[in-house]
Structure 1
């Protein structure tokens, strides 16, 4: 039987005695990552603050290593749980290193004097989030992204068993987002650190989480591994999406497709067409695409943005009927864009379509791999 390291029993959270979300039942094992997702204002931060003890529970209980959190002393809880939320901390006249060092206070006694061992932990935490060069700078004079890294280092410096993070990647660029997620993952593996966090980046949530909690309205709608959450149609439902699209298999988000009869037919495949699809979308030019295998890299984007997609099942030969259907759409369009400069054995149907388009005098671009070639008309 799976050991529950962290779990809740019928937890109810809210403000000023008014319940917001009732009967929250979640659990993770030691060394696992739990991510909260859902629309803005759904209550993700409220759940985190209630677990952290910043908000009083309106019902139920929270357990860590089979002990109820409310039964632990402040210092004991501080050694087990670290919190990184978005609220500003008071840090007048404090350097970044000073702020990180406050993470050692649960271990230093009432005088707050750091030992050499404490200072070593502080230095290692700063190095881990790549902020050693900031250690002597005024914490209030650095950027929001840099402050976020300092606060992450402070939490790591605390050497907790579980860490709570509310949108920890909000102010981080792509490089530091990936680096921080890598750090979290390494710490869960090597130190059995348990993580509970909220994220807006669904692609990151799907990739890093062991379990996901979906908050929808005033209740928890789903709880389970990513494979049970990122199923076709669920994420658009969770976020009440009315425009654009989200493709669960790839985490791909696209804006709304142009409307109207297709003016352009795109011959693509193997990821060569995505940039052209998006260029056409940005210009509001409706287009058709094909023939694409349904496991092709271009297929999710084409499916989201094209008026018409001619597709074939993976590893199946393209039929004459499918070729005729594609030729029909070429006839309806005033222009054909080919993103390929060669065709493999399984792509001979598209080679034939290109020849047909040339015979019709409609090809004015072979995109190949260059971004500087002639653009479609109107682009």
Structure 2
């Protein structure tokens, strides 16, 4: 069983250290994912592990052996990789590119056996690339090339897989498919996988361990549950606490209203939906003009739309464990909320009614009120009685 680990590894360019004391370890069947801002050094670490860059200090081990002790031909039978650099080919089909993954097992003439071609075809089928396998590799899309490069690494038949941003250029469906395959390779074929990802929500789902790269060090290593607890990830990326929801992976473009005076420049003439607006210019740029009665995720599309149209709004009454609570906290100027699992108190209802009094419009996104949502039913009826209700 092949484990890959680094001990006191120092990486950098032209003998200039970038990140030192890199100590990472991945056992068979596990996935380690590197996350961190652009330019923090994720690719540099991976390129050093794969010997594309010369290490400045430390050791990379494949199993019990230092990579310094192994010939390139031995390494290629233990470690395969998919990096971000684009492979340049001349008149090679996609299937021929994938087949190059079998070269470590052929003789000096590079002739593939029937068994080699079986592995090639199995890898192509696994990444669902049969429809492009006979086309010129350089004439297919970036996403299709990425899938074939993964197939090339798979048919190399190693126990260690290194991937630098494997979901780059892929649409949503193929991102899900590729990461599912990578998870399967780790679980079923007991591969040790190290990769980098920009999609934090996907990193949460597919990784066993996450290493956070800050620029001059590995700042933290832990399980996804440990890394995404609290506000650490927001601090790592230098964004507001409210701009990212670590539970759902949602990213919010507007993190509260701290800088709203510079953002909300709005008039009725510029609004796309006059039902949301008054006919006069908003004097207080953070004063809510719309009250949204939502819950269970139903209000999120409205929050996004109001934010796009630069219309300040209030939201409520939301339980603090509601799926849309963090979105409301990030995008709304005011939120009326109640503690999780607590009944909604009358003071919350009165606070919401006062906001409705001052708003031009009330949008209700809830289609059916249950027995534990009577407070919001009361708000909807209150707004309807004032002629302000606007159902979605």
Q: TM-score normalised by the shorter chain: which range applies? A: over 0.9
The answer for the alignment partner of 1:276 in structure 2 is 302
Q: Is the 8 A contact 2:299 2:324 kept in 1?
A: yes
Give how far 1:87 is off: 1.2
1:294 aligns with 2:292: no
1:346 aligns with 2:372: yes
The answer for the alignment partner of 2:14 in structure 1 is 16
Q: Which runs of 5 or more structure 2 residues have no equivalent in the other structure? A: 261-285
SS of the residue corresponding to residue 301 of structure 2 reads helix
C-alpha distance in structure 1 between counterparts of 2:26 and 2:177, whole Å: 23
Give how far 1:90 is off: 2.9
Give how far 1:239 is off: 0.9
Q: Is the 8 A contact 2:234 2:241 kept in 1?
A: no
- Structure 1 stretch 230-239 or stretch 243-252: which is displaced more? 243-252
1:362 aligns with 2:360: no
The answer for the alignment partner of 2:239 in structure 1 is 241
Cα RMSD for the two superposed structures: 1.4
Q: Normalization by structure 1: what TM-score? A: 0.93
The answer for the alignment partner of 1:326 in structure 2 is 352
The answer for the alignment partner of 2:334 in structure 1 is 308
1:211 aligns with 2:209: yes
Give how far 1:179 is off: 0.4
Give how far 1:23 is off: 0.6
Provide Cα deviations, 1:123-142, integer angstroms capped at 9, x if missing partner: 00011111112121111111
Q: How many residues align?
A: 364
Provide closer, same or farther for how the CA distance between residues 4 and 229 of structure 1 changes in structure 2, counting only shifts above 3 A: farther
SS of the residue corresponding to residue 373 of structure 2 reads helix
- Structure 1 stretch 114-123 or stretch 5-14: which is displaced more? 5-14
Counterpart among 37, 43, 50 of residue 52 in structure 1: 50
Q: Is the 8 A contact 1:165 1:198 kept in 2?
A: yes
Give how far 1:243 is off: 9.5
Counterpart among 109, 112, 124 of residue 111 in structure 1: 109
C-alpha distance in structure 1 between counterparts of 2:88 and 2:308, whole Å: 45
Q: Is the 8 A contact 2:210 2:221 kept in 1?
A: yes
C-alpha distance in structure 2 between counterparts of 1:60 and 1:243, whole Å: 36
Provide Cα deviations, 1:167-198, integer angstroms capped at 9, x if missing partner: 11111101110000110111111100111111
Q: Is the 8 A contact 1:263 1:286 kept in 2?
A: yes
Which aligned pairs between 1:41-80 and structure 2 lie closer than 5 A? 41-80=39-78
C-alpha distance in structure 1 between counterparts of 2:143 and 2:72, whole Å: 29
Q: Is the 8 A contact 1:13 1:47 kept in 2?
A: yes
Q: Is the 8 A contact 1:9 1:60 kept in 2?
A: yes
Provide closer, same or farther for how the CA distance between residues 159 and 178 of structure 1 changes in structure 2, counting only shifts above 3 A: same
C-alpha distance in structure 2 between counterparts of 1:192 and 1:92, whole Å: 35
C-alpha distance in structure 2 between counterparts of 1:74 and 1:213, whole Å: 27
1:317 aligns with 2:315: no
1:130 aligns with 2:128: yes
